Amino acid sequence: MKDLNANFTGFDSNRRNFIKTASLGAMAMSFPMPSIPDFLKDDPMGIVVHSYAARWHSDTPSSKYPGFENALSLMQHCKAIGAGGVQTVVNGWATDFAKQVRDVREKTGLYLEGSIALPKSKDELAKFESEVLAAKEAGASLLRTACLSGRRYVNFKTKEEFQEFRKNALQSIELAEPIVRKHKIKLAVENHKDWTAKELEAIIVNLGSEWVGVTLDFGNNLSFMENPNEVIETLAPYAFSTHVKDMGVKSYADGFLLSEVPLGEGVVDLKSAVALCKKHNPDINFSLEMITRDPLEIPTLTESYYNTFDHLSGLEVARIDRLIHKNEFKGELPHVTGMSKEEQLAYEEHNVLACLSYSRNSLGLV
């Protein structure tokens, strides 16, 4: 395993080696069963747990939209609405519960991807490994993770603060890699409003492990003024899993508003994104992350927004500004402020179902 802080040299060669070894690893894991050609196989789109942010662990009494207590109720609902699988949080799963998840997964035929926190220090390795084992017992095909729970341009006020985060995040990935390699389950690091596309690409390539790749979020990096279609082109070769979403944009006084919108209504070239991911990883699952919430404010007209960035030239800023103004969302962006809890639950379900319908009718995920 390489030092993640090493100078970024031999990039093209390392990039090719990653793609080659990751592909060989996938072949080895599936042997002796022959892989099904892509044109004969296409699973329905699955659901990321965050698509049900209002309903997950909800205590709102609702006969139409009862809360999801755990992964079991989420899986049963996703099967009922025709989704192909789930990506859900693995945290504190006892062996008995993991077996229950496995039973439901096998009965429903859903794919299962876990979502797991990285170890922050050696003291957390035992907990991390126990969650890896629980996910594997449940039949998870991989584990998604993220290095930052917030947003880079909000969490960090200076480059020094970001560099400290970067150092700790790279250490966490290096601590996690031997464990996922040992247990032969892939770890997929999301572009989670922490890394630019090129930064995350460099992390994965420099690590040089076939067991660590990317959860490719189709829209997050718009918040970094990166064209989502170019982000997808950059990260698709390393993608083990996906967060499928479309993004609506609208100008406001300090920059632009950014919001997940029903698939097909935003600025992401979804057909190209799906095709590119399948080209690099024919077995990849497509998982919807349609978060129904108020729009995020991206304060690109403030000086503080740029404090941790050095990836944007004046030309690149102008290009994204032009993209935003040319593709402003018609009408109001989705929002939940002012809605009752029941209305939020209904709106959330409406958006998820609309996205599933689009994935079947327009993306061929059936």
Q: Is the pLDDT of residue 351 over 50?
A: yes
Using 50, 70 and 90 to split pLDDT, how confident is the model at 3?
low
Q: Report the 10 Å Cβ neighbour count for 252.
A: 12
pTM to 2 decimal places: 0.89
Q: pLDDT digit string (tens) for 111-155?
A: 999 999 999 999 999 999 999 999 999 999 999 999 999 999 999
CA distance 11 to 17: 10
CA distance 65 to 87: 20
In this structure, what are the phi and psi dihedrals at residue 163, rounded to the nearest 5 degrees?
Answer: -65, -35
pLDDT of residue 39: 41
Using 50, 70 and 90 to split pLDDT, how confident is the model at 19?
low
At residue 136's C-alpha, the angle toward residues 114 and 27, to 5°, is 95
| Averaged confidence pLDDT in the chain | 92
Instruction: Give the lowest-confidence range in 30-39, 73-82, 125-134.
Output: 30-39
Q: Is the pLDDT of residue 181 over 80?
A: yes
Q: pLDDT digit string (tens) for 251-260?
A: 999 999 999 9
Query: Which of the listed CATH numbers 3.60.40.10, 3.90.1150.10, 3.20.20.150, 3.40.50.10860 matches domain 11-23+40-362?
Result: 3.20.20.150
Instruction: Give the lowest-confidence range in 69-73, 193-197, 293-297, 312-316.
Output: 312-316
Q: Token pair 């969302």 is at which residue?
A: 329
Q: pLDDT digit string (tens) for 212-240?
A: 999 999 999 999 999 999 999 999 999 99
pLDDT of residue 43: 85
Helices marked H in the chain: 11-30, 71-80, 95-108, 125-138, 152-155, 159-183, 197-207, 228-235, 270-280, 314-326, 341-362
pLDDT of residue 4: 64
